[in-house]
Amino acid sequence: MSHGALDPSLARHLARIEAYVRHSGLQPIPPGRADLRRALAAFMEMRTPALLDAWLEDVGPVLAIPEADWPEIKADQTAAVVRWARHVADPSNIETYLFLRAHTRRGFIGRFPASRFLAAQMRFVDHLADDIRREYAGDPQRTAELLSLLRQEFQARVLHITDFFVEAREEELLEQEASYRRAIDRAPACILWVDAASGVIFDANQVAERLLGYGRAMLVGRALGELHPPSDRARATALWQAARERGHASRDDLHLLTSRGEPIPVFANAGYMEYGPRPWVQLICVDISDRKRLESQLIQSEKMAAIGLLAAGIAHELRNPLAIVMNALYDLRQILDGQNPEAVEDLRIAEEEIERAQAIIKNLLEFSRESGAELERLDVNDLLSRTLQLMQKHLQNN
């Protein structure tokens, strides 16, 4: 049989089954017995409608098929047997394989486990064989030939269905694996799979590649310890041991080294898993650089707030001494009464500086005073003047 016009996977399937049938001796009746094949095919098409009612009564309860679904199952089985009969009459007709393949993946065949479906098909063939024996009771040779051909074709059919079942399940597993891989690669975290015994990475997701700057091929086979800075390795070991003891553990004080040697702070969650011969650890690391930066800014802000409160307290304490000094300067001015112009000028300058200091203290106290958000009219010029007073030294130096 030529498979040139088929899709590659179906062509491989047919070649595989043909080779198995040929080498296992399951084909005692050659395809050339056209008369016998046509006779069996005609018998199958003629008797199938009546046989299916009895067959459903047998297998419906066993397969737990609701009676409401029996008409649909009967229609599908009729279509399957008609295609099978056409193949029996003409082995080059592969429509039955296309039908079986489609229904194994998505149709009525795929609704059942392979063993239960094949057991039901065996029961249908038993009904068909009983009918052949009754129909040809007076011709033992014809009966034997028809039963032998029926058995041969059914054995080949079982091989095809089994292979289609395996193929469908393999495709489902590949689809599930691909779906799982897509989900893992799109996860918002760096994920590394590490051999629990050796500590060697055996897989990584795309986020790990982007975060660390390594391709997957460069990560696989690398010891996990190489990705931690020396200062972190004791903590990383503690995380590893805790995961093995409790099944999972997490820390937020670890770093991963990029390909450029830059440490990235991460929240690391390690889960210990045992499946098959090789236990492993799944390490999920979330980049917390932004969080660490915000924490640092918050600490700095708190420091500045503390300094502001301290400065406000100092400013408050300075007001009274400055007032006393100002009074003393006033008394000195009265005592001099213009007798020493140079000293009077120095007193004037001192008074101006004290007034400037008092203005700065006032502005500082107003700035540090806790207040709510309220709308009010404001003299912008006055606000700018007070701000410039507070920043005068900074502006002079910069």
If asked whether residues 210 and 111 sit together in one domain, one would say no
* Mean pLDDT value across residues 116-143: 91
Percent share of the chain, pLDDT over 90: 29
Sign of CA dihedral 381, 384, 386, 389: negative
Domain CATH code at residue 24: 1.10.490.10
CA angle in degrees (0–180, nearest 5) for 210-211-214: 60
2 pLDDT exceeds 50? no
30 pLDDT exceeds 70? no
380 pLDDT exceeds 90? no
* R_g of the chain computed on alpha carbons: 45
Residue 317 lies in a domain: yes
Percent share of the chain, pLDDT over 70: 91
If asked whether residues 68 and 151 sit together in one domain, one would say yes
* Mean pLDDT value across residues 190-212: 92
Quick one: pLDDT band at residue 45, thresholds 50, 70, 90?
very high
Q: Which of 109-123, 201-215, 310-324 has the highest mean pLDDT?
A: 201-215
Q: Cα–Cα distance between 263 and 285 in angstroms, integer?
A: 13
Number of domains the chain is built from: 3
- pLDDT of amino acid 27: 64
243 pLDDT exceeds 70? yes
Collapsing DSSP to helix, strand or coil, 200 comes out as strand
Q: Are 64 and 167 within 8 A, CB to CB?
A: no
- DSSP strands (E only) in the chain: 190-195, 201-204, 248-257, 263-273, 280-287
Sign of CA dihedral 109, 111, 114, 116: negative
Collapsing DSSP to helix, strand or coil, 262 comes out as coil
- pLDDT of amino acid 11: 80
Domain CATH code at residue 230: 3.30.450.20
Residue 389 lies in a domain: yes
If asked whether residues 113 and 215 sit together in one domain, one would say no
Quick one: pLDDT band at residue 4, thresholds 50, 70, 90?
very low
Mean of all residue pLDDT scores within the chain: 84
Q: Are 109 and 97 within 8 A, CB to CB?
A: no
If asked whether residues 96 and 132 sit together in one domain, one would say yes
Structure tokens at 187: 């996860």
If asked whether residues 308 and 272 sit together in one domain, one would say no
Q: Which of 64-78, 316-330, 363-377 has the highest mean pLDDT?
A: 64-78
Neighbours of 23 (CB within 10 A): 9
Q: Cα–Cα distance between 222 and 170 in angstroms, integer?
A: 31
If asked whether residues 33 and 138 sit together in one domain, one would say yes
Q: Cα–Cα distance between 81 and 79 in angstroms, integer?
A: 6
52 pLDDT exceeds 50? yes
- pLDDT of amino acid 3: 47
Q: Which helix (H) or strand (E) holds 287?
A: strand 280-287
pLDDT in tens, 267-288: 999 999 987 778 999 999 999 9
Q: Cα–Cα distance between 160 and 26 in angstroms, integer?
A: 13
Residue 167 lies in a domain: yes
Residue 1 lies in a domain: no
If asked whether residues 259 and 165 sit together in one domain, one would say no
For residue 40, CA distances in Å to 47, 52, 138, 257, 266 come to 11, 17, 17, 73, 72
Residues 6+ apart with CB under 8 A from 6: 14, 94
- pLDDT of amino acid 148: 92
* Mean pLDDT value across residues 44-63: 88
If asked whether residues 358 and 380 sit together in one domain, one would say yes
DSSP classification of residue 1: -
If asked whether residues 360 and 392 sit together in one domain, one would say yes
Residues pairing with 251 in the sheet: 268
Collapsing DSSP to helix, strand or coil, 256 comes out as strand
Task: Quickly list H helices, 186-275.
Answer: 206-212, 216-219, 233-246
Residue 2 lies in a domain: no
Domain boundary pick from 183, 211, 232: 183
Quick one: pLDDT band at residue 125, thresholds 50, 70, 90?
very high
23 pLDDT exceeds 80? no
- pLDDT of amino acid 97: 81
Residue 24 lies in a domain: yes
If asked whether residues 33 and 158 sit together in one domain, one would say yes
- pLDDT of amino acid 44: 92
Q: Are 239 and 269 within 8 A, CB to CB?
A: no
Residues 6+ apart with CB under 8 A from 394: none
Domain boundary pick from 287, 310, 342: 287
Residue range(s) defining the domain that contains residue 75: 8-183
Q: Which helix (H) or strand (E) holds 45?
A: helix 34-62
Q: Which DSSP string corresponds to 313-330?
A: HHHHHHHHHHHHHHHHHH
Q: Which of 213, 313, 207 is nearest to 257 (CA)?
A: 213
Quick one: pLDDT band at residue 62, thresholds 50, 70, 90?
confident
If asked whether residues 170 and 33 sit together in one domain, one would say yes
Higher-pLDDT residue of 388 and 34 is 34
Residue 3 lies in a domain: no
- pLDDT of amino acid 213: 94
Quick one: pLDDT band at residue 372, thresholds 50, 70, 90?
low
Domain boundary pick from 287, 312, 345: 287
If asked whether residues 14 and 153 sit together in one domain, one would say yes
Residue 316 lies in a domain: yes
Q: Cα–Cα distance between 359 and 387 in angstroms, integer?
A: 11
* Mean pLDDT value across residues 81-91: 89
DSSP classification of residue 258: -
42 pLDDT exceeds 70? yes
- pLDDT of amino acid 190: 93
* Mean pLDDT value across residues 128-142: 93
